[in-house]
Amino acid sequence: MPLLDNYRGKMRFNQQAITYSLILLAGLLWIGFSAAPQGSTTSGKIPAPQAGFLSPDFTLTTLNGETIRLFDLRGRVILLNIWASWCPPCRAEMPAMQRVWEEYRAQGVVVLAVNATSQDTLADAQAFVAENGLTFPIPLDTEGEVTRLYRVSSLPTSFFIGADGVIREVVIGGPMAEALLRSRIEELLQEMR
């Protein structure tokens, strides 16, 4: 009898091994057949307002009446800053942004300081820009479109965007030091070389 019990035990073990092997093989076949073909997905390159994702596109009019579309700036390093004139940290970081703009714009760097006009007034924004001699583009977010699109919960909020349109870093709050601005822009310019 012990020999017969031993034989039955081995048979049960073999049947279980075959069953598990068939299940594993079926799973592997399913993974192979259901996998998305190479190049058919976004590889994470979908628009989202966070590091590692494409920067969501928008079109706004600047204080000078120029129309700016973010996607038209692809191929350039972008500092996208969302601010309001009543915001003390926003006001404090603008002179450093102006100096960075003056130094790096010839290298393809764009500073876009989107005024959250839906939370500000056009007159106050214009006065602040004139008072500080700001020459970089100031798009006006009159309807709060960009503020919502980029999920801005605190002013200022800045997005460092690579030439490929992918957000590399998000800085919430401020003011940002000029050294931080320079180092992040230098890193993004290095990627282009």
Position 40 scores a pLDDT of 43
pTM value is 0.76
Position 49 scores a pLDDT of 86
Q: Measured between alpha carbons, how far is residue 125 from residues 63, 120, 141, 173, 193 in Å?
A: 9, 7, 11, 19, 36
State CA 2 to chain mean position distance.
69
Residue whose C-alpha is closest to residue 116's, from 168, 170, 155: 155
Q: Say if CB 81 and CB 112 are below 8 A apart.
A: yes
Strand-pair category, 109-115 with 77-83: parallel
Position 5 scores a pLDDT of 61
What is the mean pLDDT, run by run of 10 residues, along the chain of 193 residues? 60 72 74 58 67 94 96 96 96 96 95 95 95 96 95 95 95 93 94 82
Tokens of 48: 């989202």
Position 101 scores a pLDDT of 96
